[in-house]
Amino acid sequence: MANEKKPGRVKSALLNWLGVPIGLTSGTFWEEWFGQSTSGKSVTVDAALQLSTVWACVRLLSETVSTLPLKLYRRQPDGSRTVATDHPLYRVLCISPNAEMTPGRFMLMIVASLALRGNAFVEKKLIGSRIVALVPLLPQHMRVKRQPNGRLEYIYNENGADRPIPEKSLMHIRGFGLDGVCGIMPVKAGREVLGAAMSADEAAARVFAQGLQASGVLTNESGALKPEQREQLRQSLAAFAGSKNAGKLMVLEAGLKYQGITMNPEAAQMLETRAFQIEEICRWFRVPPFMVGHTDKQSSWASSVEGQNLQFLTNTLRPLLDNIEQEIIRCLIGEAEAETVYAEFSVEGLLRADLAARREWYASALQNGWMNRNTVARLENQPLIPGGDVYTVQSNLMPLDQLGQQRTDSEQARAALQNWLNTAPASNPPAGQAGD
């Protein structure tokens, strides 16, 4: 609009410092970062983290992924794989991303940025064409826009100054989005849900501060109070405010009468409203409510530990892990090696409770001849066994191509005895029988 008020110098400088990916002349800045929800609460990332459910969901996602080993593998011609310890990326991905971070702390920051801001940015430090370090950047300081030539431009605000970063020097991991350029900021998209939860927490806290007593009504039949009487009454009421003064008797003067409004503790805590807000927030982060301590409806989930872990892995973690793995291949490994080198998270640790079922499955496969031992070794990321490509069946675990050719134990013993008798040297005949 032509009459739209442009931001002033201070606002433009603040916008540049925060790195919001919108135009400097647009008033969308305030709606993007400090817009109020319908409940009247200003929803920002820092404010959202004060909600226990948001805190628990972000910690669950980031800390779980950070504990999963990330390995770099190389495909072998026989279909197996080996850990690519000789690859230049192995050290920065699996041992030390940079001089200040462990792989776990590095991945924790990546996932937390995706969960809260929908994007994660990692700058590649290069010596020639060799990647020597990976440095995660704060997504709130990054601006992304499409250039006229179709390429993306990344501008990072560092120490108050803009620093352009070439696209080839950056790994941009996008969360769920609709334009393919940037992921949608979950805190912005869920502003109304988060704002309602903030309002419910604040209302409950205020009720508790009043000693679980709702405000009552003071009536005066003698007419209006004088200004000095109103101030004196206000000071008197303040002396009885707060949960520490709950239950105290109040002495009323000047013919005032008090009529209280009763409120039971269950209504004061607004249990149903706050429980629903927990489920609402969990939907935004795709986290099962029972995994953040909300167990009212746990019966609708799997009853076993391995079933719960499997659902969490399949529905929540797997898309997140695949996204990170594919960006590592695209931005770090490159097309030239993508066919033979790849990165993968090891998720077996989340399914250790189901080890007995996997052992029975492998035993059945080996005994019935539709898997061999090297197939199992590949599935379990174990080294191949010499001679392990032979398929066996339960009958003495003999090779399939020798079925029907082997004799039973008794037949083998009889044949061995017969062979020994036939090949034994003839002994001298007993005396007196030589002329018979």
Token digits of residue 51: 């909600």
Token digits of residue 324: 């990170």
d(CA 373, CA 358) in angstroms, rounded, equals 14
Q: Taking the CB of residue 310, how many other CB atoms lie within 10 A of it? A: 16
Position 190, amino acid: G
Residue 145 CA to chain centroid, in angstroms? 27
d(CA 146, CA 155) in angstroms, rounded, equals 12
Pair 155, 165: CB distance under 8 Å = yes
pTM attached to this predicted model: 0.66
Half-sphere exposure of 391 (CA within 13 A, CB side): 9
Backbone angles phi, psi at 126, to 5 degrees: -115, 145
Closest alpha carbon to 290 in 269, 304, 308, 316: 308
Pair 333, 342: CB distance under 8 Å = yes
Return the exposure string of 170-196: e unless at least 16 CB atoms fall within 10 Å of the residue's CB, then b. bbbbbbeeeeeebbbbbbbebbebbbb
- Bridge partners of 82, per DSSP, are 74
Cβ partners under 8 Å of residue 382, min gap 6: 376
End-to-end, the C-alpha distance of the chain in Å comes to 134
Residue 388 DSSP symbol: T
Q: Taking the CB of residue 214, how many other CB atoms lie within 10 A of it? A: 12
Token digits of residue 87: 């690859």
Which long-range CB contacts under 8 A does 148-151 form with residues at least 24 apart?
none
Q: What is the mean pLDDT of each run of 10 residues along the chain (436 residues)?
A: 50 50 40 59 84 91 93 89 92 93 95 94 92 94 88 90 92 90 87 80 66 56 68 66 52 58 53 74 86 63 64 88 95 92 84 67 84 85 86 71 62 71 59 50
pLDDT for the residue numbered 245: 53
Q: What does each C-alpha distance from 349 to 109, 156, 267, 309, 332 come to in angstroms?
A: 21, 37, 43, 10, 26
Domain boundaries, the chain: 35-216+259-346, 354-419
Position 330, amino acid: R
pLDDT for the residue numbered 253: 59
pLDDT for the residue numbered 103: 94
d(CA 315, CA 299) in angstroms, rounded, equals 18
Q: What does each C-alpha distance from 341 to 74, 79, 369 come to in angstroms?
A: 5, 13, 31
d(CA 74, CA 404) in angstroms, rounded, equals 41
Cβ partners under 8 Å of residue 214, min gap 6: 207, 260, 261, 262, 263
d(CA 230, CA 236) in angstroms, rounded, equals 10
H/E stretch holding 228 reads: helix 227-238
Give the sign of the dihedral formed by CA 274, CA 279, CA 284, CA 287.
positive
Position 173, amino acid: I
Closest alpha carbon to 272 in 290, 291, 297, 292: 297
Pair 251, 232: CB distance under 8 Å = no
Token digits of residue 233: 């009454």
DSSP 42-100: B--HHHHTTSHHHHHHHHHHHHHHHTS-EEEEEE-TTS-EEE-TTSHHHHHHHT-SBTT
Q: How many residues does the chain have?
A: 436
d(CA 338, CA 152) in angstroms, rounded, equals 23
DSSP 185-197: -HHHHTHHHHHHH
